[in-house]
Amino acid sequence: MLADTTPLAKSGRWAEALRDAGLAALVMLGLLVLIVGVQTVDGEGGLTANFRFDWVLIFCGAVFAGRLAAKLGAGDAIGRALAKPVGGAVGAFSAYSKQIVWLGLGFAAAMPFMPFADRYVVDVATAMLIYVMLGWGLNIVVGLAGLLDLGYVAFYAVGAYSYAMFAKAFGLSFWECLPLAGAMAATFGVLLGFPVLRLRGDYLAIVTLGFGEIIRIVLINWYTVTGGPNGISGIPRPTLFGMPFTASPPEGTTSVHEFFGIDFDPNHRIIYLYFVILALALVVNFFTNRARRLPLGRAWEALREDEIACRALGINPTNTKLSAFAVGAMFGGFAGAFFSTRQGFISPESFTFFESAVVLAIVVLGGMGSQIGVVIAAFVLIVVPELFREFADYRMLAFGLGMVLIMIWRPRGLIAHREPTIRLHPPQGNGR
Amino acid sequence: MSEALLQVEHLTMRFGGLVAIDDVSFLAKRREITAIIGPNGAGKTTVFNCLTGFYKPTVGRLSFHRPDGALYLEQMDDFRIAQAGVARTFQNIRLFPMMTVLENLIVAQHNRLMRASAYTFAGIFGLKRYRDAEAEAVAKARTWLERVGLVAEADWLAGNLPYGAQRRLEIARAMCGDPLLLCLDEPAAGLNPRESADLNALLKSVRDDFGIGILLIEHDMSVVMGISDHIVVLDYGRKIADGPPDAVKRDQNVIRAYLGEEESAPLPPEVAADIAEGRR
């Protein structure tokens, strides 16, 4: 740092930066001269070439300038300037986390009745809450137990198809099917868990990835049961104590608006769905917060930290891992059943690897093991792209850029702070 | 006279063609500190790994005498051995670094707390039975924190403790599971002389206050000679001496293993020929 201030070092630095930027521009030129510089056009009488060397020059100039700026430390300066407010915001967030949580809960409960809350807003909020719930479920497996699961969407699919089939085949209601869907998903969680007990890290990730694909491909090909690529349609909508949300209820039933003596409004069902997923998500959150303070949750975290030490302390690693898989899968199954009843139609297309990746990204960006982090990350990854719908073409670009920036400045996720599950001394100061 | 706690008979461990332990037998008794010493690569840690189930021995019987009968450790899974009352620490410390000191000690009492929480089902609703059990576990953790002098650091992340404190915490964590036999793999490694002396006092108090057996691998002779009741010496996987510290110190085999052969020992003929021709 001191050496940088001397004139000689400064000029040397400039020379080196210029040389480096020149080289980068040269590499760019080599790459682009054919790819961008020559465009093939389907003209009359065959393929003709269209030359765009001005574009190549613009690109090379941009690379030169960017590389020069990065070399001279402009990138660091911008990084520092941005990192400070972000870090400060996160710090303030940790300090007032309790108040913020209650405020957020109050907002979530009142949101559908606010003036700006039209059907679209409530729908987006519901979609976000599905991802929050999935994130919280996956957080148990990845964040607490440290088992990298890339096939989480499989359990989501199992829950969704279980609900659809039970509801259509046996005429069971949503609330009767919910535990069944959860149980089915948990069973699949254990089924996946058994073969991967000895695997960890990358190997586990690959096998779970494969498992997710197996489920999806079975759904596509087992035509007689799952309807194949056509999926299942006409899935029963949710009811409130058996009362449907329809304008003209079937014979012998009362619909909700008749029961309450209010005018029919299609938004009632949307709002009801919103509250159902809010309640389900809060159940998951309550469970996880409690479980963290129980021997089971502590064993999950201990397993993430050091499996060999766990064995030396008499913790049964098989049971601990399977319970994490089963519980995580069960919550995924609940979310799947909800998804099924909300859409009224499901097909294997809704359960691609991309969904797993998004849920995992939510968990990782939020900060492994952090409950609030998942909510923030779900907001960033689900709602923010929705807000920028006009820039549809650049959404994925911004998505990737955001991920890269977060990983540079907060490599352990937005909320990396871990609250101890038990304390001997009351917390003091900043809770160190 | 103290009774037998762990009886190792004809323990042999082969990794492919390599014989890491070759027909080792010894006895560890209750209320005694048994040290296993030997040069590097003698197979000490392999003995530990066989005892605690991390390796399955090729040959041998490991009888662990509990008050309610004997168990054969060579047939059991590692975590079952730990549940049966054999606790261990590791040469390269294995704490849960991102959990607090107190949490490390609570995790060590996992099985008892798991039963108290009715395998989570009762614990989820915060029943009194579980809360009492947890308070008891915290009280026990606290007594151990007092013993190893880490009460003030109880809410620190274990990974942030200084090295010596991490060693002490690992011993406290092993003891929180109420073991009958405590296996320590080089507990004094990396400690300064004062910390070593503190460790000696801690291990003696553990032996005397809890009446358990301690099995110790150690290079630091001040620890070994200061507190061991009984020493087993290994070299190249074979037992070369076994007895009280004073006898082992004078044993010719032990001196040879540590200090090498005497000058007068004959050189191999081809080496002698090389030297004679001036090629070495």
Residue B1 confidence (pLDDT): 45
Q: Do A312 and B82 touch (CB under 8 A)?
A: yes
pLDDT tens by residue, B187-210: 888 888 888 888 899 999 999 999
CATH of the domain at A131: 1.10.3470
Out of A9-23, A229-243, A387-401, B219-233, pick the least confident: A387-401
Q: Does B265 score more than 70 pLDDT? A: no
Provide, rounded to the nearest whole percent, the portion of chain B with pLDDT above 90. Answer: 33
Helices and strands, counts by H and E, chain A: 18, 6
* A226 confidence band (pLDDT: 50, 70, 90): confident
Task: Count residue pairs from A and B with Cβ separation < 8 A.
Answer: 124
ipTM over 0.90: no
Taking only the tens place, the pLDDT of each residue in B29-85 is 988 999 999 888 888 899 999 999 899 999 999 999 988 888 898 888 989 999 999
Q: Quick one: A12 and A63 in the same domain? A: yes
> Distance of CA A386 to CAs A105, A380, A381, A424, B280, Å?
22, 10, 9, 45, 80
Going by pLDDT thresholds of 50, 70 and 90, the confidence category of residue A87 is low
Percentages (nearest 5) of helix, strand, coil residues in chain B? 45, 25, 35
Q: Is the pLDDT of residue A56 over 70?
A: yes
pLDDT beyond 70 at A429: no
How far is the C-alpha of B216 from the C-alpha of B209, rounded, in Å? 18
Q: How far is the CA of A184 from the CAs of A154, A162, A189, B25, in angstroms?
A: 11, 7, 9, 52
pLDDT value for B138: 92
Residue A85 lies in a domain: no
pLDDT for residue B124: 73
> Model confidence at A75, in pLDDT bands (50, 70, 90)?
low
Instruction: Give A193→chain B minimum CA distance, Å.
Output: 19
Cβ–Cβ of A305/B96 closer than 8 Å?
yes
Looking at chain B, which residue has its C-alpha nearest residue A421?
B103
For position B140, what pLDDT does the model report? 92
pLDDT exceeds cutoff 80 at A430: no
* In chain B, domain spans: 1-85+179-280, 95-177
**A320 in the Ramachandran plot: left (φ > 0), alpha (ψ -120 to 50) or beta?**
alpha
Tell me how far apart the alpha carbons of residues B160 and B191 are, in angstroms, rounded to a whole number. 17
Same domain for A258 and A342: yes
Lowest mean pLDDT among A39-43, A357-361, B61-65, B171-175: A39-43
Q: Is residue A430 part of a domain?
A: no
At A219, the pLDDT band (50, 70, 90 cuts) reads very high
Average pLDDT, chain A: 84
Instruction: Indicate yes or no: CB of B102 within 8 angstroms of CB of A298.
Output: no
Q: Please indicate if any CB of chain B lies within 8 Å of the CB of A176.
A: no
Q: Report the distance separating Cα B21 and Cα B197, nearest Å.
A: 31
Tokens linked to A87: 């870090």
CATH superfamily name and code, B1-85+179-280: P-loop containing nucleotide triphosphate hydrolases (3.40.50.300)
For residue A362, being part of any structural domain is answered with: yes
A74 confidence band (pLDDT: 50, 70, 90): low
Whether A416 maps to a domain, the answer reads no
Q: What is the pLDDT of residue A426?
A: 79
A242 and A380 share one domain: yes
Is the model more confident about A260 or about A122? A122
Residues A67 and A102 in one domain: no
Residue B279 predicted with pLDDT over 70: no
> A31 lies in a domain?
yes
One-character DSSP codes across A327-343: HHHHHHHHHHHHHHHHH
- Which candidate from B88, B107, B130 shows the least CB-CB separation from A298? B107
The span from the CA of A106 to the CA of A93, in Å, is 17
Residue type, A102: W
SS3 state at B76: coil
Among the listed ranges A29-38, A118-127, A138-147, A348-357, which one has the minimum average pLDDT value?
Answer: A29-38
Looking up tokens 């993430």, which residue turns up? A304
Structural domains counted in chain A: 2
Q: How confident is the model at residue A210, as a pLDDT?
A: 92
- Flag whether pLDDT at A432 surpasses 60: no
Residues of A in contact with B79 (CB under 8 A): 310-317
* pTM score, whole prediction: 0.81
Alpha helices in A346-383 (DSSP H): 353-366, 371-378
Q: Are residues A60 and A114 in the same domain?
A: no
Closest residue to B111, CB basis, from A294, A312, A314? A314
By CB neighbour count within 10 A (0-12 exposed, 13-18 middle, 19+ buried), where does A103 fall?
A: exposed
Residue A393 has pLDDT above 60, yes or no: yes
CB A408 within 8 A of CB A370: no
- Report the candidate in A200, A201, A190, A219 with the shortest Cα–Cα distance to residue A340: A219
Q: How far is A298 from chain B (nearest CA, A)?
A: 6
List pLDDT tens digits, range A273-314: 999 999 999 999 999 988 888 899 999 999 999 999 999 999
**Chain B touched by A330 (CB under 8 Å):** no
* CB-nearest partner of B79 from A315, A420, A432: A315
Percent residues over pLDDT 90 in chain A: 31
Do residues A246 and A184 lie in contact, with contact meaning Cβ atoms separated by under 8 Å? no
Same domain, A361 and A405: yes
Residue A264 shares a structural domain with residue A351: yes
The reply to whether residue B78 touches residue A312, judged by beta carbons under 8 angstroms, is: yes
- d(CA B88, nearest CA chain A) in Å: 6
Lowest mean pLDDT among A11-25, A73-87, A119-133, A190-204: A73-87
Whether A91 shows a pLDDT value over 80: the answer reads no
* Residue A149 structural domain: 91-409
Query: Within this chain, do residues A210 and A67 fall inside the same structural domain, yes or no?
Result: no
Average the pLDDT over B230-246 and give the result: 90
The Cα A243–Cα B118 span in angstroms is 38
In tens, the pLDDT along B85-106 reads: 999 999 899 999 999 999 999 9
For A1-22, letters b (16+ CB in 10 Å) and e give eeeeeeeeeeeeeeeebeeebe
pLDDT at A102 over 70: yes
Q: Average of pLDDT values for A30-37?
A: 82
Least trusted range by pLDDT, from A191-205, A326-340, B112-126, B134-148: B112-126
- Same domain for A352 and A394? yes
> Does residue A426 fall inside a structural domain?
no
Average pLDDT over residues B201-223: 88
Q: Does residue A423 fall inside a structural domain?
A: no
A12 and A147 belong to one structural domain: no
Higher pLDDT, A22 or A245: A22
pLDDT of residue A300: 93
Least confident of A404-418, B125-139, B258-272: B258-272
pLDDT attached to residue A402: 76
Contact B94 A291 (CB under 8 A): no
Minimum mean pLDDT range among A255-264, B9-18, B170-179, B243-252: A255-264
Q: What is the mean pLDDT of chain B?
A: 86
pLDDT at A129 over 90: yes
Residues pairing with B15 in the sheet? B18
- Give the pLDDT mean for A87-97: 67
Does the CB of A302 have a partner CB in chain B at under 8 Å?
A: yes
In whole angstroms, what is the distance from residue B7 CA to residue A123 CA? 69
Q: Are residues A223 and A141 in the same domain?
A: yes
Q: Considering only residues B150 and A243, tell me which one the structure prediction assigns the higher pLDDT.
A: B150
Per residue in A227-284, pLDDT (tens digit) is 888 888 888 888 777 777 777 777 667 777 777 777 777 788 888 899 999 999 999 9
Residue A136 has pLDDT above 90, yes or no: yes
Q: Which residue has the higher pLDDT, A270 or B262?
A: A270
Specify whether A380 is located in the same domain as A341: yes
Distance from C-alpha of A184 to C-alpha of A171, rounded to nearest angstrom: 17
